[in-house]
Amino acid sequence: MTKRRRRVVIKGSSLPVLRIVVRDGDASALRKEVADTIENGRPMLAEAIAVLDLRERQAREVGAREIVDAVRDTGVRVAAVLIGDASERDLLTGLDLPVIEAQSPQQATEQPAEPDLAPAYLTRPLRSGQRFYAQGRDVVVAAPTSRGSELIADGSIYAFSSLRGRVLAGASGNASACIVASHLDAELVAVAGVYRIFEADDLKALGSGPVSVGLSLEADGSERLTLASLAPSPYMQRR
Q: Which residues bind another protein (CB under 8 A)?
A: 124-130, 143-144, 146-149, 162, 164, 185, 200-201, 203-204, 207-208, 238
Q: How far is the CB of 67 from another protein (least distance, A)?
A: 38
Query: Shortest gap between Cβ of 200 and another protein (angstroms)?
Result: 6
Give the residue from 133, 204, 200, 123 showing the smallest Cα distance to 167.
133
Whichever of 87 and 107 has its CB closer to another protein, that residue is: 107
Find the shortest distance in angstroms from Cβ 183 to another protein.
9
DSSP, collapsed to helix, strand or coil, labels residue 73 as helix
In terms of CB distance, is 136 or 165 closer to another protein? Answer: 165
CB of 146 to another protein, least distance (A): 5
What ranges make up the beta strands (E) of 149-203?
Answer: 150-153, 157-169, 179-191, 194-197
Instruction: For another protein, give the closer residue by CB, 70 or 189.
Output: 189
Beta bridge partner(s), residue 82: 53, 100
What residues have CB less than 8 Å from 163, skipping those under 6 apart? 141, 144, 145, 151, 157, 179, 181, 183, 184, 185, 186
**Which CB, 80 or 143, lies closer to another protein?**
143
